[in-house]
Structure 1
């Protein structure tokens, strides 16, 4: 099945610091592409994989589950760790949950975590009905393109397969239990006006992680897909400064490595 235009994975060979970016549920690398390109332009090695079942058509997604999505970012992290001295994991929405689980599982192999509007729970009464309803109803309306900025659009599915939504619910519950294992420096950016993931998810993540070095930033001008919204530049610059603080002198291609 051909990949939707713009949804292709992205990679860039840069310096000694690597960044793995994880896109969201029913989304694609397109939502993080400007972020990835910004980091690449600043000399970092960048990996932005396409998650299994994403970037084609929603029917393909219902054949996959959280184990498939996590296995892809886990593979990418291991590969990046073999090429770089320091590795950071970034994520949007469900990608934030993927990034947090990588941090919980890989310990010192992950130097820091940046998440934007990270998901922690499937909300609403419908969430409790998913185990049963998914056997009778194949899909519901999509969640893509929750963006305040005029003319900005996300390449994502217009339907959510309910088998996948059930898998996502199970994944969020798993990650929630593992959050106390996250000890790395954390930068969490979230939108007070988000029509997909409520601010309560960010608040819970901040309460449950064990990280001592935590920064929270509000994205007042943006909705859920803030990486394509009014606050995009702020996200890019804050995340780059976060890396610069934690890995000084490392990672910019052509600069001194080490130290």
Structure 2
């Protein structure tokens, strides 16, 4: 499957900016859910494009929307830059400051509210955005009254039956999973001859992780010489197709639930 921008159901039928101002004004908005993809432009080792995170977000949503053709769920243009300062200094990384990304997301949310929409999901495909967007979801709720949801592109386990425990624990950037997924979406952008294998030198039984409930703050240069964490050489297009298809289905199911979610019922 080759990911082509502005093609597929997501862009042809559910891309909000393709509508006119009159169409948007007149459309029903009570159950409408707007999806704001937030990615990154940052180094992903010697073999993957710096656009990897944004590409994955767009590609997964395009797949998800094939299962949401007639639902009132709409795609907004992606924010292709994120908080990527952990990769700063590595060529091709373009990062926003935390304050800038917060301001951009808030301004978009205010604009969405001004147009009469009630629900938005911050759909994230870059790990470095995770904590900031969790915080911003609540700030947007306070500031605008919007119903705000958070969803990460890798929120669902679709890889554990295929990849090793070591890759699951330490393969967090440019490794087997991301390499496979990009191979499926845009194979011509991957230079597999430069793929490499590098894992952070942490004990496998350590209780301190690179992410999650108990972790340490790190910069890429602290944990990797190549810029990746994982075994990119094991990435294949076949694995990527499997991961992407499963994630697309799971993301669609959650977006559908979000579109029908009624916050008022919780407190009754």
TM-score band, normalised by shorter chain: 0.3 to 0.5
TM-score by length of 1: 0.45
TM-score by length of 2: 0.44
Larger of the two Rg values belongs to structure: 2
Structure number with the higher strand fraction is 1
Structure number with the higher helix fraction is 2
